Structure 1
Amino acid sequence: MTPPAPESRLPSLTGMRFLAAALVFAVHGAAAGAFRDIGAAADYFRFFGNAGALGVSFFFVLSGFVLTWSARPADTTTGFWRRRLWKIFPNHLVTFVVALVLLALIGTTVFTKQTVVTLFLLHAWMPDSSYVEAANNVSWSLSVELLFYLSFPLLIKAVNKIRPSRLWYAAGVGALLVVLMPVIAQHLLPATPHYSFLPVSWTQIWFVYVFPVVRLLEFLLGMIMARILLTGRWINLPIVPAAALTVVAYLVPIYVDHNPLFNYAAFTIVPLALLIPAAAAADVQGRRTWVSTRPMVWLGEISFAFYLVHYLVLKFGHRAFGSQPNIFGQPSGPAWSTPVAIAFLLGCFAVSVVAAWALYAAVERPVMRRWSRPKNSRPRQDAPQPHGVPADAR
């Protein structure tokens, strides 16, 4: 494949961001306890219980890919950090405050060491589930992304030194390391006490799923895949087979007995590493995809905000109807018949989209326009446009 121009727009990746965020919504909907029928709840969780892990892994690989794709020799480290921090912190601060207010309204103590650590996005480094579950639970991934952003100026120098002829070997090593992480956790970390209903400990889950250093491997793999496409080494795999391979990899663990630690990234890392450059290559070659349509691109633009608001909508929207234990014995809202439960989840999804649009329009977009660059700087002529390369991933 001929090396593409690095300023080429990649709207398909923008649209795919929303699909990944929707997968995270699906798993939180599965655990919300809205289903009165225990069998229906179990079936829902069986098929969507790993959806969030797939969505998060997609975001981490995508972050490495798009940051490498859009990197320019003229970029400075401080300028890069400035853009990234202004991108994630305003939305985080707004949803953090909203979460604390809502928790205070239901009588929960909000000023704790966990919330302080969460405020500064350091909670993913703590091997204690109470930190991940503090305030707005989903913000732990921003703690991971913060490591990505801080280390990117150094990592891009190292990745750029890999010879084009060796990039696929480097990608293979990266994918293999991701697969080995649950093996390491399984054999070197304590498996008890078990976390919730899973036959593994929180320490093992934290190491594989939350620990920023381990998740950095997926980010690095995304960087390498971007270099493969940029240097003309891509194998021209179409997006449809790549997507089909991802679906198959997602479905396999549903029907095959395995250690659940492999659900978080190991099963799907190779398909995701192929899917993202396949979608990017389609855009570079001018092939229209359904995820590059204007509605999908718009949804992709608000996907970061959607990711941050959806858990609060689900949790407190459900609680507003009352409180009783869900199928996991945790406090939750009432359980309904299957059609009503599905309607509730769809309603929360719609509310989350509206709330995400409001957060994007009132906070994220104006902040990025006003403060992401120094006052005297001019936009780069080759910078990706709003409907182009995704600025980041969540």
Structure 2
Amino acid sequence: MSQEATLSRSGPSPARNLTTRLPSLTGLRFIAALMVFAFHAIVLAPFASEGAQTVTNTLFGGGGFTGVTFFFILSGFVLTCAVRPRDSAPKFWRRRFFKIYPNHLITFAVALIPITAITGTVLQGGVLNALLLQSWSPSLEVRTSFNPVAWSLSCELLMYAAFPFIIKLINKVRPERLWLWTLISAASVLSLPSFAKLLPAGQQFPQGFSDLELWFVFHCPAGQLLTFIFGIFMAKVVLAGRRLPLKLGGAVALTIGAYFVTPLFGPLYQFSAVMLIPLGLLIAAGARADLDRLPTFLGTRLMVWLGDISFAFYMWHHLVLVTGHNLLGQGENWSTLTSAAVLALLFAVTLLLSWVTFKFVEQPIMKRFATSRRGRGNAVITSVPTGNQVDRAA
């Protein structure tokens, strides 16, 4: 069954409705997940060669922040494209619960095994992590314990809770004012680093920010809700047929350029602020290309399949990287060729686990539990970003 979103808008004639899937956004999801994988891979410093480590740091040092920011924008974008007026909030929340919690609970349980085996106890924040409430804690230890990447799902939980109410307000914005409100929404995200400087001094990191500033700008669900709202406005711009400043090729070029100039900005602006608008335009341009039936590499069968399993890939990758590195030699590094082979092996293991999880957990659970019996005869379009895929359940 296809795992792509559906986007509708008015065609050339008011009486004509065009409906198209969004395979390019599905393919983009995997690229974002791959960037997060690469970021966490180089954090382990597997290369003995200083030159190789420097090159990979340059290429992927911002991949984690960029990938997660992309997912938050995409979540708001696709949920807006997929929302159905007849859906009640409880029905929406039910789909979201069965989309994210099974994968989370499986990876949480896997992460819990070595912790309990070694210490005999559950670390601080275990309950918060299990309930996906860990990102509300200013403590970095709580937010990144167990399966560290699950902090983003804690932010998603607030986004899903708020979406049915936020979309009603945004739907009242007139089409000719959508770009203005989109820019206002972007400005709210860009302002976060300035407000973070007002926080009390906390533990300082060598990169030039404190633990509290990191939490406020990047990990706090309330702050990331603003990124999510920006994605909603970008979707409304596309749905209303408003003109985009760039086509897909130009948006890709802008995103790549912004990625490599990001280190020139202050440390707090490197998390989301610099990449926010380029990523929003990239997502909007990809959706517009699909709407116009333009073939793209991102929409090929392979990329769509990889996008389908990207949520599971995101949830598994850090556990595989850390466990694999520990088994092969904790704290060790290797020659460039050996390191590349190790990372390729760990990538393959992550990919296999992702496919198994998608095939035997995500799909069956979404089909069985994500919709009521009355609605199972109808196609249901929903979405998740952080792996965060857009799924179609019947």
TM over 0.5: yes
How many Å separate the matches in 2 of 1:289 and 1:108? 50
Number of the residue aligned with 2:322: 315
Once the 2 structures are TM-superposed, how far is the Cα of residue 253 of structure 1 from its aligned partner?
Answer: 2.4
Number of the residue aligned with 2:113: 101
**Aligned counterpart in structure 1 of residue 352 of structure 2, from 351, 354, 376:** 354
**Aligned counterpart in structure 1 of residue 29 of structure 2, from 10, 17, 28:** 17
Is contact 1:6–1:230 with CA below 8 Å preserved after alignment? no
Number of the residue aligned with 2:141: 130
Equivalent residue of 1:376, what SS?
A: helix
Residues 371-382 of structure 1 aligned to structure 2 (within 5 Å): 371-380=369-378
How many Å separate the matches in 1 of 2:322 and 2:120? 17
TM-score of the superposed pair, with normalisation by structure 2: 0.91
Q: Which amino acid aligns with 1:294?
A: R
Number of the residue aligned with 1:365: 363
**Aligned counterpart in structure 2 of residue 300 of structure 1, from 287, 291, 307:** 307
Deviations 1:97-123 (A, max 9, x none): 011113345x24551331111000000
Deviations 1:191-237 (A, max 9, x none): 54212x32211100111110011111111011111111111113263
Change (3 A) 1:268 1:379: farther
The answer to whether structure 1 residue 283 and structure 2 residue 294 are counterparts is no
How many Å separate the matches in 2 of 1:318 and 1:309? 14
Residues 161-200 of structure 1 aligned to structure 2 (within 5 Å): 161-185=172-196, 187-195=197-205, 197-200=206-209
Q: Which amino acid aligns with 2:366?
A: M
Number of the residue aligned with 1:54: 66
Equivalent residue of 1:182, what SS?
A: helix
Number of the residue aligned with 1:392: 384
Number of the residue aligned with 2:52: 40
**Aligned counterpart in structure 2 of residue 143 of structure 1, from 122, 129, 154:** 154
Structure 2 unaligned regions, length at least 5: 1-8, 12-16, 387-394
Q: Which amino acid aligns with 1:55?
A: G
How many Å separate the matches in 1 of 2:119 and 2:143? 16
How many Å separate the matches in 2 of 1:25 and 1:174? 29
Equivalent residue of 2:237, what SS?
A: helix
Q: Higher mean Cα deviation, 342-351 or 82-91?
A: 342-351
Number of the residue aligned with 2:233: 224
RMSD: 1.8
Q: Which amino acid aligns with 2:282?
A: L
Q: Which amino acid aligns with 1:364?
A: E
Is contact 1:86–1:371 with CA below 8 Å preserved after alignment? yes
Once the 2 structures are TM-superposed, how far is the Cα of residue 7 of structure 1 from its aligned partner?
Answer: 4.4
Is contact 1:309–1:356 with CA below 8 Å preserved after alignment? yes
Equivalent residue of 1:8, what SS?
A: strand
How many Å separate the matches in 2 of 1:109 and 1:172? 51
Deviations 1:328-364 (A, max 9, x none): xxxx3x2111221122112111111111001111111
Number of the residue aligned with 1:253: 262
Equivalent residue of 1:314, what SS?
A: helix
Number of the residue aligned with 1:327: none
Number of the residue aligned with 2:126: 115
The answer to whether structure 1 residue 234 and structure 2 residue 243 are counterparts is yes
Once the 2 structures are TM-superposed, how far is the Cα of residue 178 of structure 1 from its aligned partner?
Answer: 1.1
Equivalent residue of 1:232, what SS?
A: coil
Once the 2 structures are TM-superposed, how far is the Cα of residue 278 of structure 1 from its aligned partner?
Answer: 0.4
Structure 1 unaligned regions, length at least 5: 324-331, 385-389
How many Å separate the matches in 1 of 2:326 and 2:284? 41
Q: Which amino acid aligns with 1:52?
A: G
Number of the residue aligned with 2:95: 83
Deviations 1:293-323 (A, max 9, x none): 0110000000000000000000000000233
Change (3 A) 1:287 1:216: same
Q: Which amino acid aligns with 1:80?
A: F
How many Å separate the matches in 2 of 1:313 and 1:232? 43
Number of the residue aligned with 1:326: none
Is contact 1:21–1:306 with CA below 8 Å preserved after alignment? yes
Change (3 A) 1:32 1:85: same
Once the 2 structures are TM-superposed, how far is the Cα of residue 39 of structure 1 from its aligned partner?
Answer: 4.1
Q: Higher mean Cα deviation, 372-381 or 334-343?
A: 372-381
Once the 2 structures are TM-superposed, how far is the Cα of residue 379 of structure 1 from its aligned partner?
Answer: 3.9
How many Å separate the matches in 2 of 1:283 and 1:238? 11
How many Å separate the matches in 1 of 2:46 and 2:236? 44
Number of the residue aligned with 2:336: 338
The answer to whether structure 1 residue 67 and structure 2 residue 74 are counterparts is no
Equivalent residue of 2:374, what SS?
A: coil
TM-score of the superposed pair, with normalisation by structure 1: 0.91
**How much identity, in percent, do the aligned residues show?**
42
How many Å separate the matches in 2 of 1:309 and 1:344? 17
Is contact 2:193–2:269 with CA below 8 Å preserved after alignment? yes
Change (3 A) 1:6 1:66: farther
Q: Which amino acid aligns with 2:355?
A: W
Equivalent residue of 2:383, what SS?
A: coil
